[in-house]
Amino acid sequence: MNGSKRSLRFAGLAGLCLAGLFLCPRPDPATGAVRTLPRRGVTGSSAVNEALRSPTEEGRIEGLITVLTGEDLPAALEAMEALASLGSAVVPRLVSEMRRTRNNWLIGGALVKMGSQAVEPMVELLEDAEEATAVDCIYLLGEIQDRRAVPTLIRYLDDPRDKVRMYAVTALLQIGGTRAVEAVLSRLTREGKGLEGFIVESLVRYGRKSAEPVLQSLSSPDPRVRREAAYLLGGLGDLRAVDRLVVALRDTDAAVRRNSAYALGELASNISEPEWVVRALAAALGDSDRTVVDSARGALVRYGRGAVDVLLGVARNGDAGEVVASLNALREIGSPEAEDVMIELLDSPQRDIRVAAVAGLITSGTGRSVERLLDALRDEDLRWFATLALEKLGAENPQLFFLARPNDPTMSLRTQILVRLGPAVVPVLRDFLRDENVGRRAAALWILGEIGDPTSARDLIGHLTDPQLGWMAGLALKKMGKAGLEALLRYAEAPPTATGAERAVETLALFDDPRAWDALEAAVRGNISRNGRIRAAVLLSVSGSPDRVDRLRRYLDDDGEDLWPDVEEALRAEGQIR
């Protein structure tokens, strides 16, 4: 098209917005263009009067079109009114003129003002029209909003040209009515990836202003139309849809049932008394189609705590499939009220029910679940979910895992859970280092070592002098690795007590690190207790490298003569020499 001319149709998806008779936005999914009329009439124009004095109809039409496309806007508006009054005979000429004139919005205005008179001529023009003319005619038929155009526009929903289909959708939804909406829904089922998004958006916008035709489409004999109508009703927020969607949960088509359940979930926040809807959705948990069950479950989750009592009833009394679906919904809701029934169902003979129950305790479990979850760790089918549930409970309340009875066979499992929780439980473990119960103190030391959080190294160092658990503190420092060694090296430079010195020496020997052996050599020569020096010498003699052993022996032969008898006796006691 010539660059100086404008087209009534939209270039691509962008529309022309022109002041005057009507506003032409981009094809709005549902509403189409918005028409506005000039507020004041136009008075007699000499150019218009001259055109009207032509002796022939053709002359009058051409004269008025010349004024219409000229620079004098008031005269053009008057010419538009005059052309509209000439009737349907002028339609083909006006449509033709739209292709080449810059004031095509006024030509379109004339056609729209003709109203129903312009419908049949434009329908005829569509038969053999090229794309640009077809788009303009379809657009104008939507603006005129005459239902006689609906059958023709429906045919153009199957046009191979994307732009033509797009304008047919917009025009049909501008005209509205059940037949038009059902036709667009039917096109949606066949569209694929072409204009699917555009059609859905158009239908939603239309439905929010006029939901009744979409509601009527839920009774269509075509199951594909019913599917799309059910899905769309969920996004319209119109509560008139609730009754029909509940009925549609029993539709013969599984996809209709699935989409109806989905839509009822979308409407959940708008329903003030949802119990009867919840019961209908709960009944759908027994549907033979898995996709319907999943959709119903997802919808029930949207009703939150309002669905809990009904779901608990299903979990206690439903068949296996219903029980599993209800437990999964309760898990997603995260209802503490569901804990008891979930614990009970851990004993179910059916694997799927046990798995759903233990998974539900991830969100619904409390301290009362710990013992049963620890038992569930022994069941290979349940272990993964049980671990997740225990980790969640441990993160919320680590103390639960220190409440074991003496000789509790689950203690090692409790320990593993706390280790998996990592640094998050370190503050609680530090508190247990001061516990009166030696078993809990030992467990806290061991777990801190396994976690290896550097911030707890000082706590472990402080327990080296514990007469019952000093050795455990040393092992925990070894498990901590680098951070434990560095803390130990600092401590070994000036241990505050003889017991601390001896424990530091014993722990240094656990590390296969040159710095640890250097520290042991320094301890032999250092200012620590005599027993500490002797023990450092023994450990170097037994486990040190040949070079270190040679240096130790030279030292003992020279400066450390007073240590040798005791070192020799200790080595003999350990069977290292005869």
* Class of the CATH domain delimited by 1-175: mainly alpha
Report which of 347, 349, 329 is spatially closest to residue 338, judged by C-alpha positions.
329
pTM tops 0.95: no
What's the confidence (pLDDT) of residue 408? 65
- Cα of 431 vs its chain's centroid, Å: 39
So where are the chain's domains?
Answer: 1-175, 191-299, 303-396
Strands 22-23 and 34-35: antiparallel
φ, ψ for residue 29 (rounded to 5)?
-65, 95
Q: How far is CA 66 from CA 76, 102, 573, in A?
A: 9, 12, 124
How far is the C-alpha of 148 from the C-alpha of 186, rounded, in Å?
A: 20
Mean pLDDT by 10-residue block, N- to C-terminus, for the chain (578 residues)?
32 30 36 36 72 86 82 83 81 74 68 82 81 86 89 88 88 85 81 75 76 83 88 86 94 95 93 93 95 95 94 94 95 92 94 94 89 87 88 80 65 80 88 86 89 91 89 91 92 87 90 90 84 86 82 76 78 68
Max Cα distance, the chain (Å)? 143
pLDDT of 23 reads: 32
Beta bridge partners of 34: 23
Residue 556: CA atoms inside 13 Å, Cβ hemisphere, count?
Answer: 21
For domain 191-299, the CATH superfamily is Leucine-rich Repeat Variant (1.25.10.10)
Q: Angle, nearest 10°, between helix axes 162-175 and 131-144?
A: 10
pLDDT number for residue 418: 83
Give the integer Cα–Cα distance in Å for 397 and 391. 10
Report in angstroms the alpha-carbon separations of 519 from 112, 459, 472, 492.
99, 21, 21, 8
Place of tokens 């083909």: 92
Indicate the CATH number for domain 303-396.
1.25.10.10
Q: What is the pLDDT of residue 341?
A: 95
Residue 459: name the closest of 437, 492, 433 by CA. 433
DSSP H stretches of helix in 422-481:
426-432, 438-451, 457-462, 470-480
**C-alpha to C-alpha distance for 309 and 561, rounded to whole angstroms:** 84
Q: State the sign of the Cα–Cα–Cα–Cα dihedral 143, 149, 152, 158.
A: positive
The predicted structure's pLDDT at residue 104: 64
Question: What end-to-end distance do the CA atoms of the chain give, in Å?
Answer: 111
Same fold: 1-175 with 191-299: yes
Task: Tell me how crowded residue 12 is: count the other CB atoms within 10 A of its CB.
Answer: 8
Number of Cβ within 10 Å of residue 136's Cβ equals: 25
346 alpha carbon, distance to own chain's centre: 29
Q: Residue 128: what pLDDT?
A: 80
The answer to whether the CB of 514 falls within 8 A of the CB of 485 is: no
